[in-house]
């Protein structure tokens, strides 16, 4: 089974959207095997978004990531990374389609904020999961519905 890191970004808790977003992830068939809430620090944000640190817009992403606590999760399932990226939708507001998590829950029409991070590759997922979770925090479980999915 494949795993992907999911992060409900700052603002999701304040807007009381965590349950709605988690329900959509679970309804799609992904299994949550880890979850915790955390206030990120600059060092962690920079490690998580290492490939973007030199981009001119990174300071905005960094500041946004520090605005409040995040909810970190690991989703597991067949093709979890690709499935979750499609469910999440486009990164930028102008490209977000209705029916996707980002398209339905984005706040505003011009800011680059979005409510959810989802790993963009299996390799990224492995790196990101290791950044936020220890093996002891991951709780694999057998899903009796697996034969149906």
Phi first, then psi: give them for residue 109, nearest 5 degrees. Answer: -120, -10
**Cβ-defined contacts of 139-143 (< 8 Å, 24+):** 139/33, 139/34, 140/33, 140/76, 141/31, 141/33, 143/31
Query: Which residues form the catalytic set?
Result: 117
Would you say 12 and 18 are in contact if contact means Cβ atoms under 8 Å apart? yes
Q: Is there a contact between 1 and 77 (Cβ–Cβ < 8 Å)?
A: yes
Bridge pairing between strands 31-38 and 70-77 = antiparallel
């Amino acid at each position: 089974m494949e795993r992907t890191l999911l992060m409900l970004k700052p603002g999701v808790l304040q807007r009381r959207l965590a349950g709605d977003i988690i329900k959509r992830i679970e309804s799609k068939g992904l299994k949550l095997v880890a979850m915790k809430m955390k206030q990120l620090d600059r060092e962690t944000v920079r490690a998580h978004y290492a490939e973007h640190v030199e981009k001119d817009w990174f300071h905005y992403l960094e500041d946004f990531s520090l605005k409040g606590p995040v909810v970190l999760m690991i989703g597991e399932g067949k093709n979890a990374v690709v499935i979750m990226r499609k469910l999440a939708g486009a990164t930028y507001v102008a490209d977000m389609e209705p029916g996707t998590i980002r398209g339905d829950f984005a706040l505003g029409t011009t800011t680059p904020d979005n409510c959810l991070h989802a790993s963009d590759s299996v390799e990224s997922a492995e790196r990101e999961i290791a950044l936020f979770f220890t093996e002891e925090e991951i709780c694999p479980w057998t899903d009796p519905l697996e034969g149906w999915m």
